[in-house]
Amino acid sequence: MATENDIVLVYMEDSPIFFARIESIWADVKKDWFNVELLVLQIPVKVVVWTLKDIYINGTEFFMGGKRMRIEVVNAPHQNFITDNDDDEESELKEPVTHLKSVKKTKPESEDKESGRVVSIAAFQKKKKDNQSD
């Protein structure tokens, strides 16, 4: 059964329509029904509450507004990374990286180059306007 904090994929008519995180589940006043609060992971993010039976939360199809719907729990795949071993010609499976080493920042080759420099949009538009008036 999908539980709180699970990521789910919601299908409408066999087409995936959005991902959501289950924020909370609580019993409804109707026997055998539950309120499911979903944080819909789209832009803009929004929260919806659906009243569903436990079988619907577990993935059984149901109808909403005349459309066939289904909720499926998303499980992240187990990651094994393949890396080259300098001492051996064969690659071997390694555990995922759990920490990162600090990266030394370097200065750009040329400080006066404009490419790669971060500027504000307002400064960019002002410079563009100044160049057009010349």
pLDDT in tens, 123-134: 666 776 777 766
Flag whether the pTM goes above 0.75: no
| Radius of gyration in angstroms for the set of CA atoms belonging to the chain, rounded to a whole number | 25
Q: Cβ distance 19 to 8 under 8 Å?
A: yes
Give the tens place of pLDDT for each residue, 36-72. 999 999 999 999 999 999 999 999 999 999 999 999 9
Q: Which range (21-30, 70-79, 102-111) has the least confidence?
A: 102-111
Please name the residues in contact with 53: beta carbons below 8 A apart, sequence gap of 6 or more.
Answer: 32, 33, 34, 62
